[in-house]
Structure 1
Amino acid sequence: MPSTLRTLATLATAAGTLSAVLLTAPAAAADTTSDECTFSRTNHKYVGTPWALQRVNLDELWSQSKGKNVKVAVIDTGVDTKNPQLTAAVDGALGRNMLPPKDDKGKPVDGFKSKATTDTVGHGTRVAGIIAARPMKGTGFVGLAPEATIIPIKQNDADGHGTAATLAQAIRYAITAKAQVINISQDTANAVPPAEDLHNAINEALAHKIVVVASAGNDGLDANVKPTYPASYAGVLAVAASDRNNERAAFSQSGDWVGVAAPGVDMVSTVPQGGHCSDNGTSFSAPYVAGVAALIKAKHPDWTSREVVAQIEQTAERTINGHDIRVGWGVVDPVRALTEDDHPIESPRPDAGLTHAEAPTSGKIILGETPRERTARVATYVVIGAAVLVAGLGGGAVAFRDARRRRRLQGAASGR
Structure 2
Amino acid sequence: MEWLNKDVTIYDLINDHYRLSLWGLRCINIEKTWGLCDEKKLSEVIVGLIDSGVEAEHEDLNGNVIEGYNFIHNSRDTCDEFGHGTNVAGVIAAKKNNGVGIAGVADGVKIVPLKVVNKNGKAHIMDVVRAIYWAIENNVHIINLSMGVEVISSDEMNLVRLAHINALKVAISKAIENSIIIISSAGNNGEDSIDFPASLNSVIAVGSVGVHKVNDTFILEKSEFNNSGKKDIIYAPGEDIYTTFINNTYSHTKGTSIAAGFVTGIVAYMKLIDPKLNQEKAKELIFKSAHIISNHKEEIPFINADNIMISMWREKVNK
Q: TM-score range by the shorter chain?
A: 0.7 to 0.9
Number of the residue aligned with 2:244 = 270
2:208 is aligned, of 226, 229, 241, to 241
- Contact (CA 8 Å) 2:66, 2:113: kept in 1 or not? yes
Distance in 1 (CA, whole Å) between partners of 2:298 and 2:47 is: 27
Q: Which SS does the other structure have where 2:47 is aligned? A: strand
Is 2:293 the partner of 1:332?
A: no
Is 1:308 the counterpart of 2:282 in the alignment? yes
Matched ranges for 1:15-414 at <5 A: 46=18, 48-65=20-37, 66=39, 67-92=42-67, 95-99=68-72, 101=73, 115-116=77-78, 118-139=79-100, 141-188=102-149, 190-192=150-152, 194=162, 195-220=165-190, 224-244=191-211, 245-319=219-293, 330-341=301-312, 342-343=314-315
Asked if 1 retains the 8 angstrom alpha-carbon contact of 2:21 and 2:242, the reply is no
Report the CA distance between 1:276 and its aligned residue.
1.4
1:198 partner amino acid: L
What is the CA–CA distance in structure 2 between the aligned matches of 1:114 and 1:295, rounded to whole Å? 28
Q: Residue 161 of structure 1: CA displacement?
A: 4.3
Closer/same/farther in 2, CA of residues 311 and 215 from structure 1, 3 Å limit: same
Identify if the C-alpha distance between structure 1 residues 310 and 326 changes in structure 2 by more than 3 Å, giving closer, same or farther: farther
Q: Give the aligned residue type for 1:53.
A: L
Letter of the structure 2 residue corresponding to residue 125 of structure 1: T
Give the TM-score normalised by the residue count of structure 2.
0.81
Structure 1 portions without partners, runs of 5+:
1-44, 102-111, 345-416
Aligned amino acid, residue 213 of structure 1: I
Structure 1 or 2: larger strand share?
A: 2
Give secondary structure in 1 for the equivalent of 2:315. coil
Change (3 A) 1:327 1:282: farther
Q: Distance in 2 between matches of 1:306 and 1:140?
A: 35
The one-letter code of the counterpart of 1:203 is S
Show CA shifts across 1:132-164 (max 9, x none). 111253346211111210011001113344221
The structure whose Rg is larger is: 1
Give secondary structure in 1 for the equivalent of 2:291.
coil
Which one-letter code corresponds to 2:289 in the other structure? Answer: T
Would the alpha carbon gap of residues 87 and 192 (structure 1) be closer, same or farther in structure 2, given more than 3 Å must change? farther
Q: Deviations over 1:139-190 (max 9, x none)?
A: 46211111210011001113344221111111111111211110001111x4
Question: Following the alignment from structure 2 to structure 1, what is the Cα–Cα distance between the partners of residues 133 and 195?
Answer: 20
Identify if the C-alpha distance between structure 1 residues 274 and 160 changes in structure 2 by more than 3 Å, giving closer, same or farther. Answer: closer
What residue identity is the alignment partner of 2:193? K
Please tell me the residue identity of whatever aligns with 1:218: N
Q: Does the CA-based 8 Å contact 2:101-2:250 persist in structure 1?
A: no
Distance 1:196 1:126, change over 3 A: same
Contact 2:30 2:304 in 1 (8 A): no
Cα distance in 2 for residues equivalent to 1:319 and 1:309: 18
Unaligned runs of 5+ in 2: 1-16, 154-161, 212-218
Secondary structure of the corresponding residue to residue 202 of structure 1: helix
3-state SS, counterpart of residue 221 of structure 2? coil
Q: Mark the CA change 1:327 to 1:179 in structure 2 (over 3 Å): closer, same or farther.
A: farther
CA distance in 1, matches of 2:113, 2:309: 26
Residue type matched to 1:115 in 2?
D
Offset of residue 191 of structure 1: 3.0
**Offset of residue 57 of structure 1:** 4.9
